[in-house]
Amino acid sequence: MISISLLLVFSTCKRALKDVKDYYPKVETVSATVLGNGSVRMTGRLLKDGESEVTYYGFCMSKQPIPALDENQISIEKRSTNDFEGLYKGFDKNTKYYFRAWANNEFGYSFGEVIELNSIEADTIAPCTPELDKVNIEGQNIKESYIDVYSREQSDYWMVSGKANSHHDFLFFKDRPVTGSYKVVTSFDEINDYTVLVEIRKNNVDYTLDKDSKVYVKVLKNDRAEVTICKAPFTYVGSPSRNYLTLRMNYYQ
C-alpha cells in the first residue's frame, strides 16, 4: 500500500498598483514664510503614506529651481501629526531661493511643489527712534533712564534686562537674538526662534506685553546690540486703562 502526503501551501498575492506613484508618500509644501528676523519658516503636510508607513519627512532648499533631497536638508522623524515645520536661516541678499517638502517610506521619496522666494531680508527698521537707554510708559506717567542694562544666557533662554528706578524690563529670547523683528508672545512655552516674551516688573508684580506686538533688534559692532519697542500695549491687572511701552536700550551681546 502506498501512502502519499500532500503539503499544501497557501500564499497571499497582492495585486500590483496601477500607478507606481501610489507606492510612494504624497506630501504638500504648504508655505514658506519670511519672518521678521530674516529666517524662513517652512510648513509641510503629509497627505498619504503610500503602500508603507512614512518614517521621515522634512524640507530641502537650493539656489537652483529644483532642490535636491540632500541640499540643505531638514529631516524630521514622523510624529503622530501629519503637519510639520522647519526653519531656515542665513540667506544671501538679492538672491533667489527654492524650497520644497519631502517624505519617504520603504519604497522611496516623494516631493511637494517648489516654493520660490526672492531677496529674503530681515525686518530691521523700527517705526520709532526713542532716545537711547530711555523708557516711556504711557498711561503710568513713567519716563525714565535705564540705570543697568545687560544680557546673558539664563536657563533655556537668552535674557535682555533693563532696570530703571521704578520698574525692571525683561526680554526673553530662545537664543542670542539676531538683527530683525520678533513677535511678542505671552508665555514661555511660546518662545521660539522668531518670538520673544517681554515682562515688566513693577512693585514685585510681572506684566507681559500684549501678544503680537513687535520687538526690533539691531546687532552692532563690538559685540553690542540695540533693542527697540515702539508704543506696544499692555494692561495692568485690575485696571481698565490701556498702557503703552516705548523703549530703546543698548546692551552687550
Q: What are the domain boundaries of the chain?
A: 20-118, 134-252
Q: Is residue 166 within 8 Å of residue 145, measured between CB atoms?
A: no
pLDDT of amino acid 66: 96
Tens of pLDDT, residue by residue over 191-239, are: 998 899 999 988 887 888 888 899 999 998 888 999 999 999 987 665 6
pLDDT of amino acid 8: 44
18-32, 69-83, 156-170: the lowest-pLDDT one: 18-32
Q: Is residue 84 within 8 Å of residue 42, measured between CB atoms?
A: no
> pTM to 2 decimals?
0.73
pLDDT of amino acid 37: 86
Report the pLDDT averaged over residues 123-141.
90
CATH class entry, domain 20-118: mainly beta
* Confidence bin at 159 (pLDDT 50/70/90): very high
Q: Is residue 122 within 8 Å of residue 179, measured between CB atoms?
A: yes
- Residue 180's DSSP bridge partners are 217
* Distance of alpha carbon 232 from alpha carbon 209, whole angstroms: 7
* Confidence bin at 78 (pLDDT 50/70/90): confident
| Cell 510708559, located at residue | 137
Widest pairwise Cα distance in the chain = 114
Q: Is residue 106 within 8 Å of residue 52, measured between CB atoms?
A: yes
pLDDT of amino acid 5: 41
Nearest to 145 by CA among 1, 74, 250, 232: 250
